[in-house]
Amino acid sequence: MPQRRQPARENLLLALDTLRSHKFRAFLTILGVLIGTATVILVASIFEGLDQQVVEMMESFGTRTLFIYKFDPGIKTTLTHEEATRKPLTYEDALAIREMCPSVETVAVETFVWGPPVTAKYKKLEMLDANFSGPTPEAFQTMNADLKDGRLYTDIDNLHRRDVAVLGADVIKRLFQNEDPIGKAITVDGHNFEVIGALDKRKQFLGENGNDRVVFIPYLTFRKYYPDAKENFITAMAYPGKLPQAKDEVTGLLRRRRNVKWSDPDNFGISSADAIITQFRDIMGTVVLVTIVISSIGLMVGGIGVMNIMLVSVTERTREIGVRKAIGARRSDIAWQFLLEAMSLTGAGGVMGIAVGYTLSFLIRTLVPALPSRVPLWSALAGFIVAVSIGLFFGLWPAVKASRLDPIVALRYE
Q: What is the spatial distance between Cα 50 and Cα 30, in angstroms, rounded to a whole number?
A: 30
256: left (phi over 0), alpha (psi -120 to 50) or beta: alpha
More confident residue, 364 or 10: 364
Q: What is the mean pLDDT of the chain?
A: 84
Contacts of residue 369, Cβ cutoff 8 Å, sequence gap at least 6: 207
What pTM was computed for the model? 0.74
Q: Is residue 414's pLDDT more than 80?
A: no
- The string of pLDDT tens digits covering residues 88-143 is 999 999 999 999 999 999 999 999 988 888 899 998 889 888 899 999 999 999 98
Q: What is the pLDDT of residue 161?
A: 95
Amino acid found at 181: P
Q: What is the pLDDT of residue 302?
A: 79
The angle at the Cα of 16, spanning 36 to 346, to the nearest 5 degrees, equals 15
- The string of pLDDT tens digits covering residues 179-199 is 899 999 999 999 999 999 999
Q: How far is CA 383 from the centre of its chain?
A: 20
Q: What is the pLDDT of residue 3?
A: 45
More confident residue, 339 or 77: 339
- Kindly indicate the confidence band of residue 245, based on its pLDDT and cuts at 50, 70 and 90: very high
Residue 149 has a CB neighbour count (10 Å cut-off) of 15
Q: Is residue 5's pLDDT more than 70?
A: no
Tell me what the mean pLDDT of segment 259-275 comes to: 87
- The string of pLDDT tens digits covering residues 22-45 is 666 667 777 878 888 888 888 888
Domain borders along the chain are: 8-56+279-412, 87-267
Q: What is the spatial distance between Cα 287 and Cα 307, in angstroms, rounded to a whole number?
A: 30
- The string of pLDDT tens digits covering residues 384-402 is 888 888 888 888 888 888 8
The 8-class DSSP code of residue 211 comes to G
Taking every pair of Cα atoms in the chain, the longest distance, rounded to a whole number of angstroms, is 105
- With CA atoms as reference, report the closest residue to 195 among 157, 251, 228: 157
